[in-house]
A and B are shown apart, each in its own frame.
Chain A
């Protein structure tokens, strides 16, 4: 097929794309005591370059206190057939401020520039939504999961933007009985969207109180939506197996109905699929055991803060942010995953306090995988207030970014000894790095219609 729009015709074609040479990673000062704006870093990922593994450029946001967190593109492979679209702008929301920064990465990919800010106040007044989280391109338009209403109460909803980044309004026709919002992913050939549950912004933003889980202030469900009707159609009540379900990923293969979610506090991986009788079903496929700690009265839960799936749908990766390990599972049989790789960095269990000469503060947290599945980039900060609770020394040490080489044949992982970005040495003082995207696409940016 003639390529005309952004992205790739298929996951198979995406895997043959050139290797990434630049990474975009957000870094925050919110909550650190340094009175500087959060910023978007450009990092050199070209091993042939003299500045490999260094920050090439820092784009500061206009104000302080955004807490940049997750990002998304204006366009992805969902508009591959639209010659009018380009993957040219990165949407970078601030969870606390509700500002959404539209950043032009096309004019000079190594030095992105600010194109526009959709002010949080405008979003609140037009849609009664706040706390933007996940951004997905949707054909030529964009939807953003918003975790609260204008006062920070659940369940929030979905902000709909047009291709010019103007507010259309609310995307969803109904939130149904959904109590909380967080991440979402859609699989249009099955007319399905899946969404997960963190908590109301007023609950999770000030920090984590374990007692609030028992008071049902945190999520424990996954919702399936009728994507065309824009309303929920089915809820999986996960109960104790699914406390705080966060990242949601469908297979990249657009014909597949299989999806996965990591339940952070239960430290389980949840899998769902559509049976031949058209029934959607779910099961727990991985259960990470809590680990003893010499100073803890109870064993430490893994806290699975992120999952992702390789572009060929063969491997599932996730991080146990409190334990300090990243795991790779072969999911060719999605009902029976097989552990094929594991590496350690930071964490509370003390297995790998120092890696590549950097004292790792925090644990493996956000991950991003190259299209060919071979290079997994990892950062260590979760959320400023939660960092401050579990890893208070991150305030002086900052976060870091490391890279893991992944064996895509037989499985296996190894931390790369040449790549390390120490955010403890940033010019304005220690910052904390979070999500990463690649200009040419990665394993969480593209959906095929």
Chain B
């Protein structure tokens, strides 16, 4: 069993050992971190957190658009760590997650993966 370290930056850099094969929402909640969540299948964004170091695998997520992914957001209910990682959790990490869609339009390459087009060179 591969075990990796998660540092939660906005919880005084508390660290947790988690299994690499399981979603972070499960492994962190089991260790007593109170995390928001909703659908638990990667579709609703409620459990979004910000990844500030390391890498995760989250190909099952369908909630984030490419801009949110570029900002470092991860969907904890389906994301699994690939390396040691550092996260900011909860709505305090959502400063870049929500935007007024009329005032701040997405470019074609910033849409969700299924409809995005490559960025013009």
Task: Check: A341 CB closer than 8 A to any chain B CB.
Answer: no
A386 to chain B, nearest CB (A): 9
Q: In the docked arrangement, what's the CA distance between A33 and B97, Å?
A: 14
Task: Check: B44 CB closer than 8 A to any chain A CB.
Answer: yes
Is A33 a contact partner of B101 (Cβ separation < 8 A)?
no
Give chain A interface residues in 283-314, CB to chain B under 8 Å: 295-298, 300
Q: In the docked arrangement, what's the CA distance between A65 and B43, Å?
A: 13
B85-112, CB under 8 A of A: which get 1 and which 0? 0000011101001111111011010011
The interface residues of chain A lying within 8 Å CB-to-CB of B94 are: 388
Q: In the docked arrangement, what's the CA distance between A45 and B111, Å?
A: 46
Query: Beyond A201-B39, A388-B98, is A207–B45 a contact (Cβ under 8 Å)?
Result: yes
Q: In the docked arrangement, what's the CA distance between A225 and B71, Å?
A: 44
Query: Beyond A33-B90, A201-B43, A205-B44, is A296–B103 a contact (Cβ under 8 Å)?
Result: yes
Is A385 a contact partner of B45 (Cβ separation < 8 A)?
yes
Query: Beyond A30-B36, A296-B102, A296-B103, is A215–B44 a contact (Cβ under 8 Å)?
Result: no
Residue ID in chain A nearest B107 by CB atoms? A211
Task: Check: A217 CB closer than 8 A to any chain B CB.
Answer: yes
Q: Which of A32, A97, A395 has the most chain B CB atoms inside 10 A of its CB?
A: A97
Q: In the docked arrangement, what's the CA distance between A388 and B112, Å?
A: 19
Task: Check: A151 CB closer than 8 A to any chain B CB.
Answer: yes
Stretch of B1-9, B12-20, B51-59, B61-69 at the chain-chain interface: B61-69
B51 to chain A, nearest CB (A): 17
Task: Check: A51 CB closer than 8 A to any chain B CB.
Answer: no
The interface residues of chain B lying within 8 Å CB-to-CB of A151 are: 41, 43
Task: Check: A390 CB closer than 8 A to any chain B CB.
Answer: yes
B99 to chain A, nearest CB (A): 6
Q: In the docked arrangement, what's the CA distance between A297 and B43, Å?
A: 31
Residue ID in chain B nearest A300 by CB atoms? B102
Task: Check: A346 CB closer than 8 A to any chain B CB.
Answer: no
Query: Beyond A209-B101, A296-B102, A392-B98, is A65–B111 a contact (Cβ under 8 Å)?
Result: no
Residue ID in chain B nearest A391 by CB atoms? B100
Is B111 a contact partner of A211 (Cβ separation < 8 A)?
yes
Task: Check: B115 CB closer than 8 A to any chain A CB.
Answer: yes
A62 to chain B, nearest CB (A): 14
Give chain A interface residues in 85-127, CB to chain B under 8 Å: 96-98
Q: In the docked arrangement, what's the CA distance between A66 and B44, Å?
A: 11
Is A215 a contact partner of B38 (Cβ separation < 8 A)?
no
The interface residues of chain A lying within 8 Å CB-to-CB of B46 are: 30-31, 65, 67, 96, 384-385
B71 to chain A, nearest CB (A): 14
B22 to chain A, nearest CB (A): 18
The interface residues of chain B lying within 8 Å CB-to-CB of A395 are: 91
Q: Which of A65, A98, A297 has the most chain B CB atoms inside 10 A of its CB?
A: A65
The interface residues of chain A lying within 8 Å CB-to-CB of B64 are: 206
Is B44 a contact partner of A209 (Cβ separation < 8 A)?
no
Task: Check: A237 CB closer than 8 A to any chain B CB.
Answer: no
Instruction: Offer 18 A-B interface pairs, CB within 8 angstroms, sorted by A.
Output: A65-B38, A96-B39, A97-B39, A148-B43, A152-B62, A205-B39, A205-B43, A205-B63, A206-B63, A209-B65, A210-B105, A210-B106, A211-B101, A212-B111, A385-B45, A388-B98, A389-B101, A395-B91
A interface residues with partner B (beta carbon < 8 Å):
30-33, 35, 64-67, 96-98, 130, 148, 150-152, 201-202, 205-212, 215, 217, 295-298, 300, 384-385, 388-390, 392, 395
- Ranked nearest first, the 8 interchain pairs of A and B with the lowest CB-CB distance are A96-B38, A33-B91, A206-B45, A152-B43, A206-B63, A205-B44, A202-B43, A388-B98
B interface residues with partner A (beta carbon < 8 Å):
34, 36-41, 43-46, 62-65, 90-92, 94, 97-103, 105-106, 108, 111-112, 115
